């Protein structure tokens, strides 16, 4: 329960140690606002007219931060109003913070300008997983007490794993009645036995494919920092990528939410390849790191696959001097799991890869990603890839410029 309470605090942009962090953040933001363009950086920005940026580039002037091992080093203060509660009317209109690791600079544009930032011969890699209606609401039949669950997976024998939440102690053998979005009673779940971390084994008392049952009784599994997880009709479409194919995720690969069919067409016309892999996003995405050090954290496992054809085209891309551009941290973890010194190969299975300093990347060259929760494995990954000091300062800049954060928020492109 303590871990869940901590998670809920961070969902709402309320990191631990608020007063101390506010002071630290104020000092850091003051440092950022004193940054200035060097003559060389100004020339580089001038040469990038095609970006049509709306704000000037900034240069991070401090030396690189030493390897970070404490989770407290990945905390930051975020005003609650910057947590996006709704998607933009046009997905590609999201702001895009372009971070250049070579010049240690960043500048603002929009996702719709992405084709101008990619080079012919690059390959964009998307995660084509599909979000299932995994959030379940109902009541305990014996006590009439409210019950909430998150579907995680189903075995071939029809046994479900669900994350269970209710008042009082749930006992093996109890029955839960699921309700649809109109609060009408539906199927019953027999709660068989507790597993670990609030997860239960359960069996639906109706013989039907689990996806059919979830379609009838499930809800879009929005993270709690979006309207306390309460879905609207718009979320059915908007909390799903336009290229989603394979059902299995309990959270969206949010970097992919920015793409539209016209934007993908423009990217292809640029001479950029577009490839798809699959990684089903699991429950660990919702949870911040609860241990004091990164070494102590046990990473959640997620199932994914990379086809032989995609792996071959990624090897050819890099061999010819192109860049592999991962769309989202899920693609990063999958490709890095499928890559050795010999390059990316076909791969299928579960990965619990935790990317943290001093990890050396072998599969990707650039990363498009959203702005992530404090104290999360996703933020650790992004700062490991982009450079700790540079990404910290870029986040401070994004807060100061009132970027929109988290799942329905804006994006960052790290080159």
Q: What is the mean pLDDT of residues 178-195?
A: 96
Rounded CA gap, 123 and 366, in Å?
Answer: 10
22 pLDDT exceeds 80? no
* pLDDT in the model for residue 286: 61
Q: C-alpha dihedral over 328, 244, 228, 283, to 10 degrees?
A: -60
pLDDT digits (tens, 9 = 90+) for 310-352: 999 999 999 999 999 999 999 999 999 999 999 999 999 999 9
Report the SS3 class of residue 337.
Answer: helix
Alpha-helical regions (H) of 270-387: 308-319, 329-337, 377-386
Q: C-alpha dihedral over 339, 344, 346, 352, to 10 degrees?
A: 20
Q: Which residues pair with 194 in a beta bridge?
A: 200
To which residue do tokens 């990038």 refer? 48
66 pLDDT exceeds 60? no
Share of the chain above pLDDT 70, in %: 83
Nearest to 93 by CA among 318, 380, 404, 323: 404
Q: Of 378 and 55, which is predicted with more confidence? A: 378
Assigned token pair, 107: 């500048």
265 pLDDT exceeds 50? yes
The boundaries of every CATH 3.40.1780.10 domain in the chain are 2-131+239-414
R_g of the chain computed on alpha carbons: 22
* pLDDT in the model for residue 298: 86
Task: Provide the b/e sequence for 197-216 (b: ≥16 CB within 10 Å).
Answer: ebbbbbbbeeeeebbebbee
* pLDDT in the model for residue 289: 87
Q: What is the mean pLDDT of residues 13-25?
A: 40
Assess contact for 398 and 96: CB atoms under 8 A: no
- Average pLDDT over the chain, rounded to whole? 87
pLDDT digits (tens, 9 = 90+) for 278-314: 999 998 766 778 899 999 998 889 999 999 999 999 9
The boundaries of every CATH 2.40.10.240 domain in the chain are 135-219
Assigned token pair, 231: 């879905």
Q: C-alpha dihedral over 60, 258, 7, 350, to 10 degrees?
A: -100
pLDDT digits (tens, 9 = 90+) for 163-182: 999 999 999 999 999 999 99
DSSP 197-235: TTEEEEEESS-S-HHHHHHHH-B----TTTGGG---HHH
pTM over 0.85: no
Does domain 2-131+239-414 fall under CATH 3.30.930.10? My reply is no
Report the SS3 class of residue 356.
Answer: coil
40 pLDDT exceeds 50? no
Cβ contacts of 245 within 8 Å, gap of 6 or more: 128, 129, 130, 276, 278
With bands split at pLDDT 50, 70 and 90, how would you rate the model's confidence at 67? low
Does domain 135-219 fall under CATH 2.40.10.240? My reply is yes
């Amino acid at each position: 329960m303590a871990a869940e309470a901590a998670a809920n605090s961070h969902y709402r942009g309320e990191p631990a140690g608020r007063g101390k962090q506010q002071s630290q953040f104020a000092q850091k933001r003051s440092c950022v606002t004193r940054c200035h363009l060097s003559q060389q950086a100004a020339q580089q920005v001038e040469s990038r007219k095609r970006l049509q940026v709306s704000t000037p580039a900034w240069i991070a002037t401090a030396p690189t931060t030493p390897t970070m091992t404490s989770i407290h080093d990945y905390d930051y203060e975020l005003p609650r109003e910057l947590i996006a509660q709704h998607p933009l009317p046009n997905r590609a209109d999201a702001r895009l913070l372009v971070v250049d690791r070579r010049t240690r600079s960043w500048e603002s544009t929009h996702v719709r300008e992405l084709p101008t930032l990619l080079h012919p011969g690059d390959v964009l890699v998307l995660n084509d997983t599909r979000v299932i209606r995994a959030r379940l609401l109902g009541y305990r039949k014996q006590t009439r007490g409210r019950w909430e669950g998150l579907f995680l997976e189903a075995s071939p024998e029809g046994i479900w794993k669900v994350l269970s939440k209710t008042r009082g102690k749930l006992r093996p053998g109890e029955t839960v009645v699921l309700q649809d979005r109109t609060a009408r009673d539906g199927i019953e779940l027999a709660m068989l036995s507790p597993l670990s971390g609030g997860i239960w084994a359960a069996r639906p008392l109706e013989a039907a494919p689990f996806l059919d049952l979830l379609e009838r009784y499930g809800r879009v599994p929005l993270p709690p920092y979006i309207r306390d997880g309460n879905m609207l009709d718009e979320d059915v479409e908007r909390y799903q990528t336009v290229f989603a194919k394979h059902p299995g995720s309990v959270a969206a690969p949010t970097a992919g939410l920015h793409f539209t069919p016209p934007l993908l067409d423009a990217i292809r016309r640029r001479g950029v390849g577009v490839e798809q892999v699959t990684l089903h996003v699991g429950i660990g995405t919702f949870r911040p790191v609860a241990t004091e050090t990164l070494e102590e954290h046990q990473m959640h496992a997620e199932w994914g696959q990379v086809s032989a054809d995609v792996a071959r085209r990624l090897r050819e891309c890099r061999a010819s001097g192109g860049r592999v551009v991962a769309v989202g941290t899920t693609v990063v973890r999958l490709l890095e799991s499928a890559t050795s010194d010999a390059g990316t190969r076909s791969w299928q299975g579960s990965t619990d890869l935790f990317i943290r300093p001093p990890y050396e990347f072998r599969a990707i060259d650039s990363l498009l990603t959203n702005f992530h929760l404090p104290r999360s494995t996703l933020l650790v990954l992004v700062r490991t890839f982009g450079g700790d000091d540079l990404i910290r300062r870029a986040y401070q800049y994004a807060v100061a410029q009132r970027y929109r954060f988290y799942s329905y928020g804006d994006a960052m492109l790290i080159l």
